[in-house]
Amino acid sequence: MREKLISDAKRWVVKIGSALLTQDGKGLDYPAIQAWAEQIVTLKQQGIEIILVSSGAVAEGMSRMGWKQRPKTLYELQAAASIGQMGLIQAYESNFSRHNYHSAQILLTHDDLENRRRYLNARNTLCTLLKLDTIPIVNENDSISYDEIQLGDNDTLGALVANLIDADLFIILTDQDGLFDQDPRSNPDAKLISEARANDESLLSFAGSAGTVQGTGGMLTKVTAAQRAAQSGCPTIIASGREPKVLERIHAKEPLGTLLLADTSRLAARKQWLAGQLKSRGNVYLDQGAVTALQQTGKSLLAVGVTKIEGDFQQGDMVSCLNASGRVIAKGLINYASNEAELIKGKSSHEFKQQLGFTDRPELIHRNNLVLC
């Protein structure tokens, strides 16, 4: 199972924790960052797309300010993140540029990933950066987020990014060898769980709490992050970042860490999310030909089969698809805003440019973004 999964995985999200990037609160560990960059470059040269989710900004900010304890107020945490982010990104950029790769900083908040339009924009940006052969470096936008800085924090963010860009594999690198059946720090008989189902609820009882001043996420956040990634069909490996060349060895199919498998395929999980998580912002009414195409042949929804538009919606919003009698037969993420959809309803895609002045997508709703009701 592991060998085939690794062979098939071409798009990775890699999360590296603070403990692996800092020198016990004394600032960034530059040799370690150089080593991470070299591993990522090696994987990219072997055809792997990588999005890096990096901790370390708050810890670096604390070091620069001479703070020994993690701040308790949100504003101090935000200030530390702002100060530290400069050094963190500079360290990555200088190392990747040595290998003639560009890196790109992406700062996200929960709102960016819960709001459909911003979600779509973030997805499009990340996918474009991958096409440009750059290395996106993602962190939470701590300096402006009004929530507490405890996503767990980049573990959870990494899972959200894995869902966002349809990752094939999510890797969480930590200072532990993986998930154990007991706490290995206090029990020498603890056994490593080499493979399990991410949604196995018993795993939560094995997870401990955070153990460092700089970090916020313990094993519990890593298991819950793996469960979140599994919702979109993405498996997770939790492994030790202390292992030499750990990323390259994972790619070589060495059985390191704990592999947590998803119960559903990526597309099936995505359609479950579409069906249950989003509210419709409008309606599109279909003729019988379009209804048949959706229900019987699994086609995308084309504008030529749309007879009526209702509601005020934006590109990327969820809309309901109704038959002539007004029954909802499907829901999906629409590629055009309501005013644009009104202009192209009943038209074939080669008429879009004449009606809109541009052509974005040939389909109104792609079949991968559509679920039957």
What's the mean per-residue pLDDT of the chain? 87
Share of the chain above pLDDT 70, in %: 91
Kind and range of the H or E run holding 306:
strand 306-311
* Helices marked H in the chain: 2-8, 30-45, 57-65, 74-97, 110-114, 116-131, 154-164, 203-206, 219-230, 246-251, 266-277, 288-297, 338-344, 352-356
Q: Which band of pLDDT confidence, cut at 50, 70 and 90, is reported for residue 247?
A: very high
Burial 169-204 (b: 16+ CB within 10 A, else e): bbbbbbebbbbbeeebeeeeeeeebeebbbeeeebe
Residue 25 Rama label (left phi>0; alpha psi -120 to 50; beta): left
**CA torsion angle 128 133 139 140 (round to 10):** 0
> What is 278-372's CATH topology?
2.30.130
Across 43-66, average pLDDT: 92
Whether the predicted pLDDT of 212 surpasses 80:
no
Across 150-177, average pLDDT: 86
Q: Which of 170-174, 272-276, 294-298, 347-351 has the highest mean pLDDT?
A: 170-174
**Confidence at residue 97, expressed as pLDDT on a 0 to 100 scale:** 97
**Confidence at residue 293, expressed as pLDDT on a 0 to 100 scale:** 95
Give pLDDT tens digits for 79-125. Answer: 888 899 999 999 999 999 999 999 999 988 766 776 666 777 888 89
Q: Which of 151-155, 179-183, 228-232, 244-248 has the highest mean pLDDT?
A: 244-248
Cα 147 → chain centroid = 19
Q: For residues 332 and 342, what is the distance between their CA atoms, to the nearest angstrom?
A: 17
Q: Which of 63-77, 145-159, 212-226, 227-241 has the highest mean pLDDT?
A: 227-241
Q: Which band of pLDDT confidence, cut at 50, 70 and 90, is reported for residue 209?
A: very low
Q: Which band of pLDDT confidence, cut at 50, 70 and 90, is reported for residue 72?
A: confident
Q: Which band of pLDDT confidence, cut at 50, 70 and 90, is reported for residue 306?
A: very high
Q: Which residues contact 270 (CB under 8 A, 6 or more apart)?
A: 166, 232, 233, 368
Whether the predicted pLDDT of 151 surpasses 50:
no
Helix 57-65 to helix 74-97 angle (10° resolution) is: 110
Whether the predicted pLDDT of 141 surpasses 80:
no
Whether the predicted pLDDT of 149 surpasses 50:
no
* CATH number among 3.40.50.300, 3.40.1160.10, 3.40.605.10, 3.40.50.10860, domain 2-270: 3.40.1160.10
Q: Which of 20-24, 86-90, 145-149, 355-359 has the highest mean pLDDT?
A: 86-90
Identity at 252, one-letter amino acid code:
A
**Confidence at residue 276, expressed as pLDDT on a 0 to 100 scale:** 66
Q: For residues 165 and 126, what is the distance between their CA atoms, to the nearest angstrom?
A: 7
Across 252-256, average pLDDT: 96
Q: For residues 138 and 165, what is the distance between their CA atoms, to the nearest angstrom?
A: 12
2-270 and 278-372 have identical folds: no
**Confidence at residue 16, expressed as pLDDT on a 0 to 100 scale:** 95
Across 198-211, average pLDDT: 73
Please give the residue that has the higher pLDDT: either 68 or 310: 310
Tokens representing residue 50 in the block? 């990588």
Whether the predicted pLDDT of 179 surpasses 80:
yes
Can you give the residue ranges of every domain in the chain? 2-270, 278-372
Whether the predicted pLDDT of 77 surpasses 80:
yes
Q: Which band of pLDDT confidence, cut at 50, 70 and 90, is reported for residue 129?
A: very high
